[in-house]
């Protein structure tokens, strides 16, 4: 298979690239930093992987990257739109600029990828796209507002697009991981329940995508817990989330 992964220089993206490269697939890695991306490709089995630097917030650049990748390596079979960012936000320091930046990367970055890929995949009647979201998108938790909002937007978008794409022979999936040990989660200053490593996450994602499921989510206990919290009546919901507040 020809596979394209964005946000592939570290964390889940790099682990997923390694998983597919070791399985013998042609993997194209994209990320903003050329130096980090070059080092990532060098860490993978020789001849299996290729670097295409890219800022996913630049729609024209994303369009050009997809065209370049397919011209050089052939039609894509799988694209994993994984690039994302995270920063905790407290109410006292909330700004619309921070919210906009989060949406530009986590949501519009995926929109740009979808806009470049969907016409190509639909015209061929095949292909698979995975959009990285998060179980944090299930509900709004303290300090994760802008991040949760961006990930929830990804899920709602994919839910809306999936029926048409399925009818056209294109598989669309959302990936909703819990806490994974990456440079992004290293920003957290609280214990992260059910924390797993990026290699474990990559294995679960690859298995989930191979199964053709719309939603790939893990770990199950955390996903079920947050689903339950999201279903609570608001008085109970806020009684619980207030307990998550920490001193400034």
DSSP one-letter code for 80: E
Q: Which two tokens stand for residue 228?
A: 């339950």
107 an active-site residue? no
Listed in order, strand segments (DSSP E) in 100-237 are: 128-132, 171-177, 215-218
Whole-angstrom distance, CA of residue 180 vs CA of residue 12: 8
**Angle at CA of residue 94, ends 88 and 96, nearest 5°:** 110
Secondary structure (3-state) at 10: coil
Distant-in-sequence, close-in-space partners of 200: CB < 8 Å, separation ≥ 6? none
Measuring CA to CA, how many Å separate 241 from each of 109, 143, 147, 167, 238? 30, 11, 16, 40, 5
Measuring CA to CA, how many Å separate 96 from each of 91, 110, 146, 188? 11, 20, 9, 21
DSSP one-letter code for 7: S
Q: Do the beta carbons of residue 13 and residue 201 sit within 8 Å?
A: no
Q: Which of 20, 86, 143, 147 is catalytic?
A: 147
Catalytic residues: 147
């Amino acid at each position: 298979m020809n596979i394209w992964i964005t946000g592939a220089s570290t964390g889940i993206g790099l682990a997923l690239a390694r998983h597919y490269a070791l399985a013998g697939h042609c993997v194209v890695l994209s990320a903003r930093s050329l130096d980090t991306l070059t080092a990532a490709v060098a860490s993978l089995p020789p001849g299996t992987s290729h670097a295409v630097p890219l800022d996913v917030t630049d729609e024209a650049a994303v369009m050009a990257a997809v065209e370049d990748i397919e011209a050089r390596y052939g039609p894509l079979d799988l694209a994993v739109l994984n690039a994302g960012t995270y920063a905790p936000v407290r109410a006292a320091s909330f700004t619309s600029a921070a919210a906009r930046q989060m949406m530009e990367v986590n949501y519009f970055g995926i929109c740009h990828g979808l806009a470049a890929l969907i016409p190509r995949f639909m015209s061929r009647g095949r292909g698979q796209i995975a959009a990285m979201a998060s179980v944090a998108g299930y509900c709004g938790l303290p300090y994760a507002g802008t991040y949760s909002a961006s990930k929830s937007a990804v899920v709602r978008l994919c839910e809306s697009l999936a029926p048409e794409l399925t009818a056209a022979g294109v598989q669309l999936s959302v990936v909703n991981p819990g806490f994974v040990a990456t440079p992004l989660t290293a920003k957290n200053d609280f214990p992260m329940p059910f924390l797993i490593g990026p290699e474990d996450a990559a294995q679960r994602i690859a298995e989930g995508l191979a199964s053709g499921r719309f939603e790939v989510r893990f770990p199950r206990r955390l996903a079920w817990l947050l689903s339950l919290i999201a279903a609570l009546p608001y008085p109970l919901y806020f009684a619980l989330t207030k307990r998550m507040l920490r001193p400034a």
